[in-house]
Structure 1
Amino acid sequence: MPSRPDRLLLQPRLLMISVAVLLAAGFGLTLLIFYPGVMTYDAKFVYEDIAKGTMGDWQSPVMVWLWALIDPIAPGAGSMFLLFATTYWLGFGVLSLALASRGKGSALLLPLLAMTPPALSLAGIIWRDVLFATCWLLAATAAFAVSERPSPIRLTGQVLALVLVIFGVLLRPNALLAAPILIAYIVWLSRVSLRKAAILCVPAAIGLFGIVQLVYYGILDAKRQHPLQTIMIFDLGGISHFSKVNQFPVDWSESENAMLLNRCYQPTQWDIYWRLEPCDFVMGKVEREKGLFGTPAISRAWLAAILHHPIAYLQHRSAFMWNFLAADNLTMWTADVEHPTKKVFADRAAFNAMVSAHDVLKPTPFLRVGFWLLACIIVCCLSWRRSGFREAAFALGVCGSATIYVLSFSAVGVASDYRYGYWAVLAAIAGGVVVISGRGKGAELPR
């Protein structure tokens, strides 16, 4: 029989082996379900830009550049899917193994939770929101894994984590306000300081904004396609609806005006005014007939509408946010973009099993962004009192940034798909498991 010290050494080793087996099974399951990845319309537009040799800022030009770079590995969706799956399981794997190395049985929970539909059902869907979330997960878990290592290893891990955070912002520039929270964790690692995080927030956001401008329009020379004005079009439509006064800088026919004010608005997506009948006449006139989209006229009309009708603006934004957090929105993508009337992978048993599990959970809170936002808030609160310094810092870093990220959609959201809150799903799972793995001593309260 091994002595007690031998048994204490053996426990982490057995945990790590068990965790490694679960991680390998999870990665294999992901390949079995999704390979070569589910192409979406957004992804198709990005991939077509590779063939055209052009880059625009409607979708992230960094994703175009990256996809072109890795495409030879598995042309089409395959290369990007492999990147998604790898970053997904590396993120959960690094954290699981870090916990297992310290003998934390909760390490076994992470791979199991990563295989549940709220998280795994999007891991093979080619959306930049998925890559953004997996990169930030890997950034945070890499920092956690090196937080008690010698200085050279720790600094290397921190640099890698910061690069991944910046890459995430380049994929999703609306993460500018959420990124400083995660950066603060990566920089300080084991000590929570709201004061320092607040001091870092403004310069970090300004610096990240500068990086986005430099990379998009300097290094990659992306064409300006004015994605910010989609927010303004959506807001103008919402304010027009709630104020019952046209806010667009164009005149409509009597029937168009009646539709704009009474029938067109839905707090779901701006596409209603862009490409969905019968209200696509809005962008038809604003963009194609009058040529106003992308001009200061839209910005001026937007600002004037908010100043003159602030209550209508708040009604519109509140309606959108409630829909985003609580409604039955698009979650798992299953359509074949080349044959829209057909389902992708219709003859694949593993994929269909995931779709069935997803469909069972679809009416439940587990596939609502609001549930995961609330979970992140709860994890943040619990981490202050129930974890050690290291665990509390990690939980506050991931769940704090996820909370800010989701809440930012109250001002900039133009669609309410589940994917836009995917970072909160991964953050709540990772942060929650780390919190319950804490030493049980009260963490130092934020200063």
Structure 2
Amino acid sequence: MLAFFWPGVAHYDTIAQYQQVVSGAYYDWHPPAMARLWSLFHAAGWAGQGPMFLLQTALYWGGLGLLAAALAHGGARIAALAVLALGLWPPFLGWQAVVVKDGQMAGALLAATGLVAWKRLAGKPLGLALPAILALFLYAVLVRANAVFAVAPLAVGLLTPWRWQEWPSRALLIGAATLAVLALSPAINQRLLGAEPSGVETTQPIFDLAGIAHRAGPDAVPLVPSETWRRLEAQRCHSSILWDIFSTGKRCDFLQQGLTGQPRQAIVAAWLRAIREHPAAYLSHRLAHWNATMRWFVPWHFPQAVPQAASLPNGFGLASPDPQVAAYDRVAGWLANSPLGAPILALAVALAVLALARPAHSVAHGLAVPLALSATAMELSFLVVSIAGDWRYHLWSMLAAGLSAILLLTRPLPRRAARIALAGIALVALTSLGARLMLPQVGDAYEALIR
């Protein structure tokens, strides 16, 4: 993987973060943990995206390798091979080659999972591996703004053996950890990691306010003049897929500009009031977005699924892999766009694992439950917290769901329950396939969503 994709692909976000590394000026639009870590390599004289690509690749395969080795050592050799095969699935490899926070998060969580599995499947305590596991969880939760929804259930479930009878206390602990991280993250990013505030926290309210106004009428959000909402409608600016259409430089940025100078508290208050007064409009908007980001009822060619094969033009010397990567990523993109690559299918698999797993009777099932719970919590969080539908946002969730299914199948399952679960998964896959065959194509390009 290192040889084929070297030196990794520089995404738009990659370049934005590397600019911070070079300039030494950090801001919190992207969580600064990745840029701060990157700056250590840069200060040591290793320029470019190579060191971060090496890091996320080593974490990715280190975690999968530890899990596969632990399964093979316990006699589950088919499961071990399945773990490696899952890691080789082209959409995963294609996106893991992009040096971006999603790949860093997935790598860190895979490495933590691998370390826990290496110990737990051998019946040993975590011991000296615990500090490394905690460090990996900490990095993962800091490297993406919404990572806590995946990390909290995974960490709580992996660090102590899972027991279903303890789920109320576990749920409270996961909820408390999630709220604590959400409350502390701004202070960590801005004070501890030295990032300047960028106003990123207002993007979610603005995105939702536009969706509510589109459905409930121009007078639904008094914070913004009704003339602005009418202009948005006239210029067909509404989108339930992504916020970018309102960002600076895009054709509908006048909404963002009109809110310039408004206190953050006023925007958030207007958002909460609009949700309270127009719940049906809000729910319709959020479900439309969730369907798009989960890629359920969408056409086959839907933007932001094909892995980026070459680095974007930049002035920092961030190079591209060899040209053969483009052909590989076209295949990876076709698979990512297919029903097999739909995040909704991964959610269905994770829910099936939660229904079928018996952690009291199997250590492997005890590892499967936290993985499935992590995938489920992350995917359901997009119902409330999400402003874009990029496929890469689901990289960890899809990996976690796949690994949980492999661990689940290491022991026989009740036939009737397994058939019901399989039927549910098949229903999701078939409805997803039907939508892809019947709906008009949008195209693979990002521009299709903002034109």
TMscore range, shorter length = 0.7 to 0.9
What runs of 5+ residues in structure 2 fail to find an aligned partner? 416-451
Identify the match of residue 351 of structure 2 among 351, 373, 377: 377
Identify the match of residue 114 of structure 1 among 65, 81, 87: 87
Contact 2:56/2:104 (CA < 8 Å) preserved in 1? yes
**TM-superposed deviation, 1:150:** 7.3
CA RMSD of aligned residues (A): 2.6
Structure 1 residues 170-181: aligned runs within 5 Å? 170-181=142-153
Contact 2:10/2:320 (CA < 8 Å) preserved in 1? no
**TM-superposed deviation, 1:434:** 1.4
Aligned length: 402
Q: Residue 309 of structure 1 aligns to which amino acid in structure 2?
A: H
Identify the match of residue 235 of structure 1 among 201, 208, 221: 208
Please state if 1:204 is matched with 2:204.
Answer: no
Which has the larger Rg?
1
Contact 1:234/1:414 (CA < 8 Å) preserved in 2? yes
TM-score (norm 1): 0.83
Please state if 1:401 is matched with 2:374.
Answer: yes
Residues 220, 359 of structure 1: alpha-carbon distance in 2 compared, 3 angstrom cutoff = closer
Distance 1:97 1:312 in 2: 50
Q: Between 201-210 and 223-232, report the one with greater CA deviation.
A: 201-210
**TM-superposed deviation, 1:82:** 0.7
- SS of 1:182's partner is helix
Q: Residue 250 of structure 1 aligns to which amino acid in structure 2?
A: V
Q: Residue deviations 1:314-349, cap 9 Å, x none?
A: 111011001111232412123542179xxx858532
Contact 2:71/2:121 (CA < 8 Å) preserved in 1? no
Residues 424, 382 of structure 1: alpha-carbon distance in 2 compared, 3 angstrom cutoff = same
Residues 99, 150 of structure 1: alpha-carbon distance in 2 compared, 3 angstrom cutoff = closer
Structure 1 residues 80-229: aligned runs within 5 Å? 80-105=52-77, 106-147=79-120, 154-189=126-161, 191-192=163-164, 193-209=166-182, 212-229=185-202
Distance 2:346 2:335 in 1: 14
Please state if 1:53 is matched with 2:16.
Answer: no
Give identity over the alignment, percent: 28
Please state if 1:300 is matched with 2:272.
Answer: no
Q: Residue 385 of structure 2 aligns to which amino acid in structure 1?
A: V
- SS of 2:97's partner is coil
Contact 1:117/1:358 (CA < 8 Å) preserved in 2? yes
**TM-superposed deviation, 1:248:** 5.9
Residues 248, 39 of structure 1: alpha-carbon distance in 2 compared, 3 angstrom cutoff = farther
Contact 1:36/1:78 (CA < 8 Å) preserved in 2? yes
Q: Residue 145 of structure 1 aligns to which amino acid in structure 2?
A: W
**TM-superposed deviation, 1:373:** 1.6
Q: Residue 31 of structure 1 aligns to which amino acid in structure 2?
A: L
- SS of 2:146's partner is helix
Residues 251, 207 of structure 1: alpha-carbon distance in 2 compared, 3 angstrom cutoff = closer
Q: Residue 308 of structure 2 aligns to which amino acid in structure 1?
A: W
Residues 357, 74 of structure 1: alpha-carbon distance in 2 compared, 3 angstrom cutoff = farther
Q: Residue deviations 1:80-134, cap 9 Å, x none?
A: 1111111110111110010111121121121122111132121111220121122
Residues 359, 202 of structure 1: alpha-carbon distance in 2 compared, 3 angstrom cutoff = closer
Residues 206, 309 of structure 1: alpha-carbon distance in 2 compared, 3 angstrom cutoff = closer
Contact 1:388/1:439 (CA < 8 Å) preserved in 2? no
**TM-superposed deviation, 1:202:** 3.2
Residues 248, 202 of structure 1: alpha-carbon distance in 2 compared, 3 angstrom cutoff = same
Please state if 1:273 is matched with 2:246.
Answer: yes
- SS of 1:411's partner is coil
Please state if 1:64 is matched with 2:35.
Answer: yes
Q: Residue deviations 1:372-419, cap 9 Å, x none?
A: 22222222223238x943111211101111110111011110000111
Residues 187, 236 of structure 1: alpha-carbon distance in 2 compared, 3 angstrom cutoff = same
Q: Residue 35 of structure 2 aligns to which amino acid in structure 1?
A: V
Contact 2:6/2:321 (CA < 8 Å) preserved in 1? no
Q: Residue deviations 1:183-238, cap 9 Å, x none?
A: 22222135443233123223322443465345323322321223221000101110
TM-score (norm 2): 0.82
What runs of 5+ residues in structure 1 fail to find an aligned partner? 1-29, 443-447
Q: Residue 14 of structure 2 aligns to which amino acid in structure 1?
A: A
Contact 2:137/2:151 (CA < 8 Å) preserved in 1? yes
Please state if 1:337 is matched with 2:312.
Answer: yes
Aligned to 2:411: 438
Residues 339, 222 of structure 1: alpha-carbon distance in 2 compared, 3 angstrom cutoff = closer
Structure 1 residues 286-297: aligned runs within 5 Å? 286-287=259-260, 291-292=261-262, 295-297=264-266
Residues 145, 164 of structure 1: alpha-carbon distance in 2 compared, 3 angstrom cutoff = same
Q: Residue 323 of structure 1 aligns to which amino acid in structure 2?
A: A
Contact 1:143/1:189 (CA < 8 Å) preserved in 2? no
Contact 1:388/1:438 (CA < 8 Å) preserved in 2? no
Distance 1:261 1:233 in 2: 18
Residues 178, 114 of structure 1: alpha-carbon distance in 2 compared, 3 angstrom cutoff = closer
- SS of 2:96's partner is coil
Aligned to 2:432: none
Distance 1:252 1:441 in 2: 58
Distance 1:150 1:425 in 2: 27
